[in-house]
A and B are shown apart, each in its own frame.
Chain A
Amino acid sequence: MLVGVSVLVFSMLHFVPGDPARIMLGMEAGAEEVARLRKQLGLDDPLVVQYLRFAGGALRGDLGRSLKSNRPVVEEIKARFPATLKLALCGLGIAVSVGVLAGVLAAKHHQSWLDNAVMLGAIVGVSVPGFWLGLMLIYFFAVNLRWFPVAGAATLRHLVLPSLTLGLMASAVVARLTRSSVLEVMRQDYIRTARSKGLSERIVMYRHALKNALIPVVTVVGLQFGGLLGGAVIVEQVFAWPGLGTLAVTALQARDFPMVQGIVLYMALGYVVVNLVVDVMYSYLDPRIRCQ
Chain B
Amino acid sequence: MTVAVRGKEKCPAKPDSFSFRKYAVRRFVQNRGAVLGSVLFAALILSAILAPWIAPYDPYEVSPNRLARPSREHPLGTDALGRDVLSRILYGGRISLQVGVIAVGIAAVTGTALGLIAGYFEGWVDHLIMRLMEVMLAFPGILLAMAIMAVLGSGLFNVMIAVGIASVPSYTRLVRGVTLSVKQNEYVQAARALGSGIGRIMLRHLVPNIAAPIVVLSTLGVASAILTCAGLSFIGLGAPPPTAEWGAMLAADRVYLRRAWWVVAFPGLAITISVLAINLVGDGLRDALDPRLK
Contacts and interface: CB of A to CB of B under 8 A. Distances in A.
B247 interface: yes
Interface in B227-270: 227, 230-231, 234-237, 247, 250, 254, 257-258, 261, 264-265, 267-268
A264 interface: yes
Interface string B139-163: 1111100111111010000000000
A275 to B, nearest CB: 8
> Which applies to chain A's interface (DSSP): helix, strand, loop or mixed?
helix
B146 A139 contact: no
A229 B143 contact: yes
A257 interface: yes
Interface stretch (B43-51, B69-77, B272-280): B272-280
A230 B268 contact: no
Contact of B223 (A127, A130, A249): A127
Interface stretch (A3-11, A107-115, A158-166): A3-11
Interface in B100-127: none
A103 interface: no
Contact of A264 (B139, B250, B276): B139
- Of listed B134, B138, B141, B275, residue having the most chain A CB within 10 A: B138
B283 interface: yes
Given A9-B147, A234-B142, A260-B150, A123 B135 contact: no
A237 B234 contact: yes
Nearest to A260: B150
A70 interface: no
A138 B268 CA distance: 14
Nearest to B264: A135
Contacts of A226: 140
B136 interface: yes
B241 to A, nearest CB: 14
B147 A129 contact: no
A203 interface: no
Interface string A141-177: 0010000000000000000000000000000000000
Nearest to B140: A230
Interface stretch (A19-27, A35-43, A52-60, A266-274): A266-274
- Of listed A127, A135, A248, residue having the most chain B CB within 10 A: A127
Contacts of A132: 250, 264, 267-268, 271-272
Given A16-B150, A129-B227, A135-B250, A252 B237 contact: yes
Contacts of A7: 135
Contacts, number: 129
A12 B151 contact: yes
Interface residues of B, number: 45
Contact of B142 (A136, A138, A230, A253): A230
A4 B272 contact: no
B75 to A, nearest CB: 20
Size band of the A side of the interface?
Answer: 35 or more
Contact of A227 (B136, B140, B237): B140
Nearest to B274: A127
Given A136-B265, A143-B258, A237 B235 contact: yes
B264 A129 contact: no
B139 A4 contact: no
Nearest to A138: B257
A234 B148 contact: no
B151 A15 contact: yes
B33 interface: yes
A233 interface: yes
Contact of A234 (B135, B234, B264, B283): B234
Nearest to B261: A139
B275 A267 contact: no
Interface string A43-56: 00000000000000
Nearest to A133: B268
Nearest to A17: B153
A5 B144 CA distance: 11
B62 interface: no
Contacts of A143: 257-258
Contacts of B247: 129, 131
A131 B272 CA distance: 11
Contacts of B139: 5, 264, 267-268, 271
B230 A1 contact: no
Nearest to A119: B33
B257 A234 contact: no
Given A135-B250, A260-B146, 11 more contacts: A12-B151, A13-B151, A17-B153, A136-B265, A136-B268, A230-B140, A234-B142, A234-B231, A255-B150, A260-B147, A264-B147
16 contacts: A8-B136, A12-B150, A13-B151, A17-B153, A124-B276, A132-B250, A132-B271, A135-B268, A138-B257, A139-B264, A229-B143, A233-B146, A249-B235, A252-B237, A260-B150, A267-B140
Interface of B: 33, 131-132, 134-136, 138-143, 146-151, 153, 223, 227, 230-231, 234-237, 247, 250, 254, 257-258, 261, 264-265, 267-268, 271-272, 275-276, 279-280, 283, 294
Closest 4 CB pairs of A and B: A230-B140, A132-B268, A4-B135, A127-B276
